[in-house]
């Protein structure tokens, strides 16, 4: 590395989706609406779970944690983007960028781990119903969520510390609406081989690993459902899994699609547009997917609203 390249910058420029002035009010209104819908929808899931004693079960404990993570997930990116649009500024400080990247990684990994934990919960409930309350007890639920937080925090801390050691030159434009890890690394002047290796390691063990576990558990679940003699039992078991499968499909198909095609889209805004699917749309749709197909959630929300009237 040339000595002249070792430049410590103070800020990045987030290019966002479009530089056309006439499109900024439309983008602002669209993302503000999606942000408010996401926060309100997930907050209602949390309130319904807390207020209804019938929902004090492992399944809804994990769901309320997922809703909380989704609120934090979308809050790491969209508010800054809205502020930049409103102030007509693309600037984010170096420290702010690293901080945003850290929290983004924390919550995207938490989504990953929680979806895996929820798949395990459904596996035990359907394949080992007689032992469910013994296996998935409150102590195990707490340990699974705590372990998810610890692993997410440690991985995000590692990536943030490694990124902070990189040197950046004069090119500080990020073709994205937030400080995404791959985008920042590819702006560095210094050698990023170790950073890339850690990303690939994480993709294999922290993304494909949980996805493989989810697919395996649902293969076992489907096998168990098809061997159930009662048609009503099969329908009930399958209906409890559909919502989770929809969320898993949305999250993994969109996030892995973005990262697997990242190298081909670094020079354009297409990666930013594709990222909207798993960073904004999926957290927004989660409350609708779970509530519209779930009688317990709908009943709890009805009680919650009637109680306030």
Mean pLDDT score, 273-296: 85
Helices (H), 76-202: 78-87, 94-127, 132-135, 138-164, 181-185, 193-202
| Three-class secondary structure assignment of 261-285 | CHHHCCCCCHHHHHHHHHHHHHHHH
Cα end-to-end distance, the chain, whole Å: 66
User: What is the reported pLDDT for 56?
Assistant: 93
13 CB contacts (<8 Å, ≥6 apart)? 90, 91, 92, 172, 173, 174
Mean pLDDT score, 130-151: 96
Mean pLDDT score, 187-202: 89
Q: What percent of the chain has pLDDT over 70?
A: 90
User: What is the reported pLDDT for 309?
Assistant: 44
H or E stretch at 93: strand 91-93
Give tens-digit pLDDT for 262-282: 554 444 566 777 788 889 999
Q: What percent of the chain has pLDDT over 90?
A: 52
Identify the band that residue 20 occupies on the pLDDT scale cut at 50, 70 and 90.
Answer: confident
Nearest to 178 by CA among 250, 263, 104: 104
User: What is the reported pLDDT for 270?
Assistant: 66
Give tens-digit pLDDT for 238-267: 777 888 888 888 888 877 776 666 554 444
pTM above 0.75, yes or no: yes
User: What is the reported pLDDT for 183?
Assistant: 87
290 SS3 class: helix
Give tens-digit pLDDT for 57-109: 999 999 999 999 999 999 999 999 999 999 999 999 999 999 999 999 999 99
Give tens-digit pLDDT for 177-187: 999 998 899 88
Q: Is the pLDDT assigned to residue 40 strictly greater than 50?
A: yes
User: What is the reported pLDDT for 261?
Assistant: 61
Identify the band that residue 48 occupies on the pLDDT scale cut at 50, 70 and 90.
Answer: very high
User: What is the reported pLDDT for 82?
Assistant: 96
The number of beta carbons lying within 10 Å of the beta carbon of residue 101 is 22
Estimate the crossing angle of helix 58-75 against helix 94-127, to 10 degrees.
160
Query: How do the domains of the chain map onto residue ranges?
Result: 3-308
Of 243 and 286, the structure prediction assigns the larger pLDDT to: 286
Give tens-digit pLDDT for 165-177: 998 887 788 888 9
So what CATH class is 3-308? mainly alpha
User: What is the reported pLDDT for 266?
Assistant: 45
């Amino acid at each position: 590395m040339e000595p002249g390249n070792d430049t410590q910058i103070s800020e990045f420029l987030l290019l966002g989706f479009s530089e056309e002035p006439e499109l900024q009010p439309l983008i602002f209104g669209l993302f503000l609406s999606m942000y408010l819908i996401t926060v309100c929808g997930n907050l209602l899931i949390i309130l319904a779970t807390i207020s209804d004693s019938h929902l004090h079960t492992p399944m809804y404990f994990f769901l309320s944690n997922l809703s909380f993570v989704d609120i934090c997930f979308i809050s790491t990116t969209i508010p800054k983007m809205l502020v930049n649009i409103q102030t007509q500024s693309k600037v984010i400080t170096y420290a702010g960028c690293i901080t945003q990247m850290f929290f983004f990684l924390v919550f995207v990994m938490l989504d990953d781990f929680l979806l895996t934990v929820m798949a395990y919960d459904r596996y035990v409930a359907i394949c080992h119903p007689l032992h469910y309350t013994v296996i998935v007890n409150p102590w195990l639920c707490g340990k699974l969520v705590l372990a998810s937080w610890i692993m997410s925090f440690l991985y995000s801390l590692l990536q943030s510390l490694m990124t902070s050691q990189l040197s950046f030159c004069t090119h500080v434009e990020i073709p994205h609406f937030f400080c995404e890890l791959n985008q920042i690394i590819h702006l560095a002047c210094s050698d990023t081989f170790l950073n890339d290796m850690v990303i690939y390691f994480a993709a294999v063990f922290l993304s494909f690993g949980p996805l493989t576990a989810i697919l395996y558990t649902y293969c076992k679940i489907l096998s168990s459902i098809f061997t159930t003699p009662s048609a009503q039992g099969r329908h009930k078991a399958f209906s409890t899994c559909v919502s989770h499968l929809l969320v898993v499909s949305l999250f993994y198909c969109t996030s892995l699609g973005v990262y697997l095609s990242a190298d081909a889209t670094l020079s354009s805004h297409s990666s930013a547009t594709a990222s909207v699917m798993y960073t904004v749309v999926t957290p927004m749709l989660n409350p609708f997917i779970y509530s519209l197909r779930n009688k317990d959630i709908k009943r709890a929300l009805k009680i919650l609203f009637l109680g306030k009237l």
